[in-house]
């Protein structure tokens, strides 16, 4: 009897398990009194705004949607609608979204640590080229997807990890493709945001998403209009929306990207045609006319909504099936979670990097037991990503009653741990000689679990430099130590009464060490000793006046530096402040004489912008605070573009400098290409300053006034300028710069 009862219970349990799996696998099984309707939303990039118009028409007809299947942008719109958002709400999100952020990973400069800012400023050609000491390595995609994840999270809000996407307001499936086999992958559970991002990861452009031991890419290459999936889910009626683009003609195949998109398009067209053969007379096929919008034209994404709406209205009106489905829809309620200043119960870290968990938790900044919100969580994600060695930072938030459980996943760049960056600079004033530099920097990262780095750079050209530096954070204290050495050769034009008499060459070897503090990314403090020795090669004009054309010198002492930097751009800022302060207590040995001096330098920048207009103010103070040393050492100088424009470079020199300027820029052309932004500016400046040899000479009635007008371009290799400057000294100059100015 007991055996028979046990068998019956096991049999019942098996039938119950099978029924649950059937319900989960076939969401149409719960629809019994009418046909089960599936909405299939195809891929097409920026043309996906048309899906919103289709949804509006469906809502207007009152058609009940029982399951949604989407590919690429279709999974994005479909996932939002499946979560319970209305077509109007999705339209608002699309209108407010900054789509360009979805196709670039770089954070705003103001969000980076100061050390990272300075490196990018000095070596702006950031190719993200990896080098491990043996071979060059490239990332898996041009864009790594961090920006796209941020955009998705902003639109979707907070969701738990779903055991099944059937638990959404409307059952949902996202279609991705396995990068190894090319086969379609049906995503039916887990992290909704990651599922959608997997479905949208265009091969070669966006990094594949690793999920369930598979590398997933855009589902369009496998099934761009997944009618077959909807049928397999039990749909009786399929409403299929095809937003695929036509193939490009010969004239339109004008770039490598367009050729890649064309070849991908052949695969997409082939699988779409196969899917269309599955449609029956009970199904509805909608093909909006979108000839003027290409896949990556996201600035036009909302313009396609009306076209999608008109095409859907026509298709639904012509369909006898749609009349049977009209007015079957019921009010829906979104099953999302709101988050406003709620306490954190726990933070689980999945660490796929060489960094320590406590370092990751410290940079994330969100603490268990403390209250947080979505903005604070996103700021923590940005702090981690801005560190520069992580390829992905992902969070999943679970709400347990009134508390939050946060799963934080970090993944290190697999093409490291060393990276090469470059610089190219050129300068010509059309009067004196031209100057140029070509340089490369090598960063070997995460030498310690707390982000230690070895940094080496080599620069050749008119001026040369070879340097190396080791940066070593001390746990999560915010303190660090660093040590470095360099060789530099610098060339200065030697002037007397604005007449160039030749070149002064300064070749020197430097060593430094220090203890610093950089707990906050915008602030850096460093104090330590330095030692330098070098040779000054004098201009030929001194050959008949002295028996030495070379002067050996050395200097040593202590240096204190403070840097605060919240500028959003190094050369064309629109917001932020920057303060650089430096105090040096140094001994100079030259010509058998020794001089101690205390040098103080302060420079403060601030900028304010409205619309396309920006106004930047700068103040600089440099002085020797005690006895003046030998004139050749310790000098500060003015002259050159935006540094008393019109005057030749470094012609105004002394040991006490006062300078201020106001710079206005107007953005003429944005040149916004989504992942790349290369704006063109028109600008002008007003400048005042002078340099005096002794404190007693300082007289503000001696100020020199200058002005300039310029065209500036934020080019891929750094700032570029074409400028004209003139000064009350009677000097004037034209300038041409490319890359970081000298």
CB 52 within 8 A of CB 41: no
Q: What is the pLDDT of residue 78?
A: 96
pLDDT value at residue 691: 92
What CATH number belongs to 37-105+143-325?
Answer: 3.40.1090.10
Question: How many percent of the chain have pLDDT more than 90?
Answer: 60
pLDDT confidence of 253, banded at 50, 70, 90?
low
Q: Give every CB contact of residue 358 below 8 A, 6+ residues apart in sequence.
A: 475, 476
Residue 66 designated active-site: no
Query: Whole-angstrom distance between the N-terminal and C-terminal Cα of the chain?
Result: 95
Superfamily for the 342-412 domain = membrane protein fhac (3.10.20.310)
Confidence of residue 12 (pLDDT cuts 50, 70, 90): very low
Class of domain 427-739: mainly beta
Per the CB < 8 A criterion, the answer to whether 106 and 516 are in contact is no
Range 343-359 average pLDDT? 95
Contact between 38 and 239 under an 8 Å Cβ cutoff? The reply is yes
| Alpha-carbon span 479 to 515, nearest angstrom | 7
pLDDT tops 90 at residue 11: no
pTM here? 0.86
Instruction: Round the average pLDDT of the chain to a whole number and report it.
Output: 87
Residue 545 is predicted with a pLDDT of 59
Which region among 169-183, 320-334, 544-558, 692-706 has the lowest average model confidence (pLDDT)?
Answer: 320-334
Farthest-apart Cα atoms in the chain, separation: 122
Domain span(s) for CATH 3.10.20.310 in the chain: 342-412
Of 97 and 708, which is predicted with more confidence? 708
Alpha carbon of 67 to those of 58, 157, 188, 279: distances in Å?
14, 21, 12, 17
pLDDT band at 26 (very low <50, low <70, confident <90, very high): confident
Q: Which residues of the chain form CATH 3.40.1090.10?
A: 37-105+143-325
Q: What is the mean pLDDT of residues 36-64?
A: 93
Predicted pLDDT at 161: 83
For residues 457 and 125, what is the distance between their CA atoms, to the nearest angstrom? 14
Which conformational region is residue 154 in: left (phi greater than 0), alpha (psi within -120 to 50 degrees), or beta? alpha
Least confident of 271-275, 484-488, 705-709: 271-275
Spatial distance between the Cα atoms of 707 and 684, rounded to a whole number of angstroms: 7
- Tell me the mean pLDDT in the region 446-460: 97
Which of the 8 DSSP states describes residue 303? Answer: G
Specify the higher pLDDT residue, 629 or 539.
539
Does 218 participate in catalysis according to the annotation? yes
Instruction: Write down the catalytic residue from 106, 153, 166, 218.
Output: 218
Phi first, then psi: what are they for 193, rounded to 5°?
Answer: -60, -45
Pick the residue with more confidence: 493 or 588? 588
Query: Which has the closest alpha carbon to 609: 679, 657, 539?
Result: 679
Which pLDDT does position 130 carry in this prediction? Answer: 94
Q: What percent of the chain has pLDDT over 70?
A: 87
User: Quick one: average pLDDT of 425-437?
Assistant: 82
DSSP state letter for 634: S
| pLDDT-derived band at 341, boundaries 50, 70, 90 | confident
pLDDT at 542: 62
Q: What is the pLDDT of residue 251?
A: 62
Q: What is the pLDDT of residue 551?
A: 86
The mean-pLDDT minimum among 162-176, 399-413, 505-519 falls in 399-413
Best CA proximity match to 404, nearest among 348, 476, 484, 467? 348
Q: Which of 557, 602, 607 is nearest to 581 (CA)?
A: 602
Report, as an integer, the average pLDDT of 70-79: 96
| Cβ-based burial of 266 (10 A; exposed 0-12, middle 13-18, buried ≥19) | exposed
Q: 124: which strand partners? A: none
Instruction: Answer yes or no: is pLDDT of 9 > 60.
Output: no
- Statement: residue 668 has pLDDT above 90: yes
Catalytic residue, candidates 72, 193, 614, 708 = 72
> If you ran DSSP here, which 8-state letter would residue 310 be given?
H
pLDDT grade, residue 681 (50/70/90)? very high
Neighbours of 11 (CB within 10 A): 10
Distance CA 127, CA 136 (A): 12
Task: Give ranges for CATH 2.40.160.50 in the chain.
Answer: 427-739
User: What pLDDT score does 430 carry?
Assistant: 80
pLDDT at site 500: 62
Question: How many residues comprise the chain?
Answer: 742
């Amino acid at each position: 009897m007991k055996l028979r009862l046990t068998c019956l219970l096991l049999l019942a349990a098996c039938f119950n398990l099978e029924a649950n799996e059937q319900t989960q696998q076939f969401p149409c099984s719960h629809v019994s009194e009418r046909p089960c309707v599936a909405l299939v939303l195809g891929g097409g990039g920026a043309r996906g705004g048309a899906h919103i118009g289709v949804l509006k028409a469906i809502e207007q007809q009152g058609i009940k949607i029982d399951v949604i299947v989407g590919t690429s942008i279709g999974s994005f719109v479909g996932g939002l609608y499946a979560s319970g958002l209305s077509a109007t709400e999705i339209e608002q999100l699309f209108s407010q979204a900054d789509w360009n952020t979805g196709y670039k990973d770089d954070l705003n400069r103001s969000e980076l640590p100061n050390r990272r800012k300075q490196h990018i400023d000095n070596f702006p050609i950031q190719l993200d080229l990896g080098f491990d000491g043996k071979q060059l390595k490239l990332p898996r995609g041009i864009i790594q997807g961090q920006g796209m994840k941020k955009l998705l999270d902003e639109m979707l809000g907070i969701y738990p990890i779903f055991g099944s996407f059937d638990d959404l307001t409307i059952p949902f499936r996202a279609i991705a493709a396995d990068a190894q086999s090319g086969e379609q992958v049906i995503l039916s559970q887990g992290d909704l945001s990651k599922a959608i991002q997997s479905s949208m990861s265009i091969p070669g452009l966006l990094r594949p998403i690793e999920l369930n031991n598979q590398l997933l890419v855009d589902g369009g290459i496998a099934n761009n209009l997944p009618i077959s999936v909807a049928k397999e889910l039990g749909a009786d009626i399929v409403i299929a929306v095809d937003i695929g683009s036509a193939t490009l003609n010969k004239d339109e195949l004008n770039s490598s990207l367009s050729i890649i998109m064309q070849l991908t398009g052949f695969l997409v067209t082939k699988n779409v045609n196969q899917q269309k053969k599955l449609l029956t007379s009970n199904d509805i096929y909608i093909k909006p006319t979108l000839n003027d919008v290409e896949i990556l034209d996201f600035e036009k994404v909302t313009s396609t909504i009306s076209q999608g709406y008109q095409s859907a209205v026509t298709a639904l009106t012509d369909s006898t099936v749609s009349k049977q489905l009209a007015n079957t829809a019921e009010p829906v309620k979104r099953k999302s979670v709101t988050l406003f200043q709620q306490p954190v119960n726990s933070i689980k870290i999945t660490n796929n990097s060489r960094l320590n968990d406590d370092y990751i938790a410290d940079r994330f900044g969100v603490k268990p037991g403390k209250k947080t919100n979505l903005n604070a969580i996103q700021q923590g994600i940005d702090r981690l990503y801005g560190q520069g060695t992580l390829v992905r930072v992902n969070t999943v938030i679970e709400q347990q009653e009134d508390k939050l459980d946060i799963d934080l996943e970090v993944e290190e760049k697999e093409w490291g741990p060393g990276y090469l960056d470059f610089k190219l600079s050129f300068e010509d004033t059309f009067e004196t000689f031209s100057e140029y530099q070509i340089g490369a920097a090598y960063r070997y990262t995460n030498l310690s679990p707390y982000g230690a780095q070895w940094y080496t750079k080599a620069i050749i050209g008119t001026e040369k430099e070879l340097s190396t530096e080791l940066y070593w954070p001390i746990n999560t204290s915010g303190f660090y130590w660093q040590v470095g050495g360099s060789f530099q050769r610098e060339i200065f034009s030697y002037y007397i009464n604005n007449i160039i008499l030749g070149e002064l060459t300064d070749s020197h070897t430097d060593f430094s060490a220090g203890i610093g503090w950089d707990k906050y990314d915008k602030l850096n403090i460093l104090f330590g000793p330095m030692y330098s020795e070098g040779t000054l090669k004098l201009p030929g004009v001194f050959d008949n006046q002295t028996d030495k054309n070379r002067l050996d010198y050395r200097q040593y002492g202590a240096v204190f530096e403070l840097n605060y930097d919240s500028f959003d751009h190094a050369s064309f800022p629109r917001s932020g402040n920057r303060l650089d302060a430096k105090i040096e207590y140094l001994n100079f040995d030259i010509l058998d004489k020794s001089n101690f001096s205390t040098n103080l330098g302060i420079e403060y920048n601030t900028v304010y912008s409205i619309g396309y207009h920006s106004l930047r103010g700068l103040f600089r103070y440099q002085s020797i605070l005690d006895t003046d040393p030998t004139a050749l050492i310790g000098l500060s100088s003015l002259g050159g573009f935006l540094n008393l424009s019109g005057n030749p470079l470094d012609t105004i020199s002394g040991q006490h400098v006062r300078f201020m300027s106001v710079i206005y820029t107007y953005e003429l052309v944005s040149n916004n290409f989504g992942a790349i932004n290369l704006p063109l500016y028109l600008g002008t400046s007003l400048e005042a300053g002078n340099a005096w040899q002794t404190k007693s000479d300082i007289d503000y009635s001696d100020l020199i006034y200058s002005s300039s007008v310029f065209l500036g371009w934020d080019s891929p290799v750094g700032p570029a300028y074409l400028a004209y400057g003139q000064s009350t000294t009677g000097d004037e100059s034209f300038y041409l710069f490319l890359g970081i100015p000298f």
